[in-house]
Amino acid sequence: MPIYNKLIEIRTQPGINIHNITSHIKDFIAASTIQNGQVLVFSRHTTTALVINEDEVRLLEDIKVFLRKLAPESDRYLHNDLHLRVVPEDEPINAHSHLMAMMLTTSEVIPIMDGKLGLGTWQSVLFFELDGPRQRTVCLQISGN
């Protein structure tokens, strides 16, 4: 069975920011021969996440407020005691970002039917940066017939 891999590079902004990567996925499917199968979307980081939801600008702001309240940056976290860990000099203070990532997800699998990405009308594939700015990598893997 044919399997195609692609890496998407994303340059993110400071703090929490959300990137719609749906068109990258659609283009990759269109360039392949797969008519029936699935795409695996996988983020290679511990302070990012993938979410399938609506790309509406005001909702994305609500989401940021919600995540900041869910895991407040100002809370006391053991992971942030850098002096008690062996870390590089530029180690970020980011326990809250890890917690947000854990509560969302690292992988999504979406069906491909009749050569098209099987998302519903209002669904977009959103990449969440939770501790920017960084250079990030998302893996796409298409498989099928």
Residues that bind a copy of itself (rule: CB under 8 A) add up to a total of 57
Tokens of 26: 């659609």
Residues 26, 77, 115, 134: which binds a copy of itself (CB under 8 A)? Answer: 77
Q: Please identify, using beta-carbon distances, which residue of 15 and 45 lies nearer to a copy of itself.
A: 45
Subset of 85-104 contacting a copy of itself (CB under 8 A): 85, 95, 98-99, 101-104
What contacts 36, CB < 8 A, 6 or more positions away? Answer: 112, 113, 114, 144, 145
Q: Which of 15, 17, 46, 73 touches a copy of itself (CB under 8 A)? A: 46
- In 3D space, the residue among 52, 46, 53, 56 whose CA is nearest the CA of residue 100 turns out to be 46
Distance CA 142, CA 24 (A): 12
Beta strands in 81-122 (DSSP E): 107-113, 116-117
- Candidates 20, 27, 30, 59; binder of a copy of itself (CB under 8 A) is 59
Number of Cβ atoms within 10 Å of the Cβ of 86 = 6
Can you give the binding site for a copy of itself, defined by CB under 8 A?
Answer: 1, 3, 5, 36-38, 40, 42-46, 51-54, 56, 58-59, 61-63, 66, 71, 77-79, 81, 84-85, 95, 98-99, 101-111, 113, 118-123, 137, 139, 141, 143-145
